[in-house]
Every structure is written in structure tokens, then in C-alpha cells.
């Protein structure tokens, strides 16, 4: 018997990738909206803190700028971006568009097993009151939307959405606590599951879109804490 298992590869992730991940997690975990004034990232300071030279730092910052996490003002520095309410709303709208398309595609592409396990994957939606466990519900909420997107089997849509999600994640949780969103949100989720099970593409698309746009309207109305 062969007990000789090898790991697929060990590319020994480059310093650039490590710097990218370190900076990205630092940015997404910080409370950018909780403080005033611009947050500037000093290349030399970062390279000294992380123990690498400026080159991989700069390359990592270039990627983060592409993804919209930082903004580079020539000859002035690179700053963590603070999204305006309008931008957040736009992201949610784009997300709603992509996710509703994923739902449409899922109705044609998803396997019966995948659709069937939607109910078992999210027991939180079918039992108890969400107000009690907002933290777990918020987790399930994100998993739910990611599941829909993955059922569409469209790589491009998945990639675009995962990036949008990174930016919007922080706002979602806040929005849940405001108003009466949690309970109405669950009802809509259940409707979406039913539409998918019925493979009703038009209905699933519409429900997902309206669900997303509902969040957009909510943020637009109650998102005073932004900007």
C-alpha cells in the first residue's frame, strides 16, 4: 500500500502575496468609519514593520488599489479609502444584479441535490427568532448569498461578487440591527429557496434582485453613519 502522500505544491508564497494578505486583513478588520481623518500607509514604515523591503509592499499596495481598498495620491501617499454612502449603494446594486443573474442561471444549471440541501444548510431560517442570535444569523446570511452565487456556476460572477462582498460586509451587519430587517429578510430568503426549488428563473431572479435592492434602499435611507 502506498503511504507516500505528497502535498500538491509548495509554491512558498511570495513576499508580495504575504504582504497583500497582511495588509488586506488589517484594512478590512479596522474600523475605518469609526475614526476621523485620513489613514495613511507609509511604505517605509510598513516595510520596516513587516521586515521586508519596499518592493513587495508597493506591489501589494498596487493590487489593493485595484481592488478599491486604498487610493494612491501621487507624491502624497496611499490612503485607506472611506466609501461614501453612494458608493456602498452602488456596490449593493451591482451585487444585486450579479446575484440575481446567478439565481437565474442556477435554475437551469444547479443539480437537484444542490437545490435540495438549501433547506438543511440554513436551519436558522426555519426555526426560532433571529433577533436572539444576530451574530450567527449574520453568518448564515452571508453563506446563503454565497451559496446562491455558487449555484450559478459562473466563475466571473463569483469573483466579482466576492470582491464586492469584502467591501460591503461591514455594512451588512449594521443594517441588520437597524429597523426590522432581520425578520423580513428571513421571509424573503425562504421565498427565494422555494423559487429555486421550483426552478422558476424569472421569479428567483426577481426575488433576489428585490431582496438586494431592498438592502440598497435601506442603506440609502438609514446609512447616516456613513460619510
Strands (E) across the chain are located at 40-41, 70-73, 77-80
Q: How far apart are CB 38 and DNA at their closest, in Å?
A: 12
Residues that bind a second copy (CB under 8 A): 11, 14, 58-59, 62-63, 66-67, 74, 86-87, 90-91, 93-94, 96-98, 100-101, 105, 154-157, 160, 164, 209
- For residue 109, which of 154, 161, 160, 157 has the smallest C-alpha distance? 154
> In this complex, which beta carbon is closest to a second copy, that of residue 140 or of residue 226?
226
Question: According to the binding rule CB under 7 A, does residue 32 interact with DNA?
Answer: no
Residue 42 touches which member of DNA, a second copy, none, C-beta under 5-8 Å by kind: DNA
Strands (E) across 44-106 are located at 70-73, 77-80
Site for DNA in 67-126 (CB under 7 A): 72, 74-78
DSSP state of 81: -
Using CB under 7 A, which of 43, 194, 200, 220 touches DNA? 43
Query: Among all chains, which residue has been given the C-alpha cell 461578487?
Result: 161
> In this complex, which beta carbon is closest to a second copy, that of residue 119 or of residue 153?
153
Using CB under 7 A, which of 21, 38, 42, 202 touches DNA? 42
State which H helix or E strand residue 201 sits in: helix 201-222
Q: How far apart are CB 17 and DNA at their closest, in Å?
A: 7
Residue 52 touches which member of DNA, a second copy, none, C-beta under 5-8 Å by kind: DNA
Please state, in angstroms and rounded to a whole number, the distance separating the CA atoms of residues 47 and 22. 12
DSSP state of 2: -
Please state, in angstroms and rounded to a whole number, the distance separating the CA atoms of residues 203 and 19. 44
Amino acid at each position: 500500500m502506498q503511504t507516500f502522500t505528497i502535498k500538491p505544491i509548495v509554491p512558498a508564497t511570495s513576499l508580495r502575496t504575504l504582504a497583500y494578505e497582511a495588509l488586506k486583513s488589517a484594512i478590512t478588520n479596522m474600523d475605518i468609519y469609526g475614526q476621523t481623518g485620513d489613514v495613511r500607509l507609509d511604505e517605509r514604515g510598513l516595510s520596516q514593520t513587516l521586515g521586508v523591503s519596499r518592493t513587495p509592499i508597493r506591489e501589494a499596495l498596487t493590487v489593493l488599489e485595484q481592488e478599491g481598498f486604498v487610493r494612491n495620491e501621487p507624491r502624497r501617499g496611499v490612503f485607506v479609502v472611506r466609501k461614501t454612502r453612494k458608493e456602498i449603494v452602488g456596490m449593493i446594486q451591482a451585487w444585486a444584479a450579479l446575484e440575481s443573474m446567478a439565481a437565474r442561471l442556477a435554475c437551469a444549471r444547479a443539480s437537484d441535490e444542490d437545490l435540495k440541501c438549501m433547506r438543511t444548510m440554513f436551519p436558522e431560517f426555519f426555526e426560532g427568532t433571529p433577533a436572539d442570535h444576530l451574530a450567527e444569523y449574520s453568518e448564515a446570511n452571508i453563506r446563503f448569498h454565497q451559496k446562491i452565487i455558487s449555484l450559478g456556476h459562473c466563475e466571473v460572477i463569483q469573483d466579482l461578487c466576492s470582491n464586492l462582498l469584502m467591501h460591503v460586509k461591514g455594512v451588512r451587519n449594521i443594517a441588520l440591527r437597524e429597523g426590522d430587517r432581520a425578520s423580513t429578510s428571513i421571509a424573503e430568503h425562504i421565498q427565494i429557496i422555494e423559487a429555486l426549488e421550483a426552478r422558476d428563473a424569472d421569479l428567483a431572479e426577481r426575488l433576489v434582485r428585490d431582496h438586494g435592492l431592498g438592502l440598497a434602499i435601506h442603506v440609502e435611507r438609514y446609512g447616516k453613519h456613513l460619510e
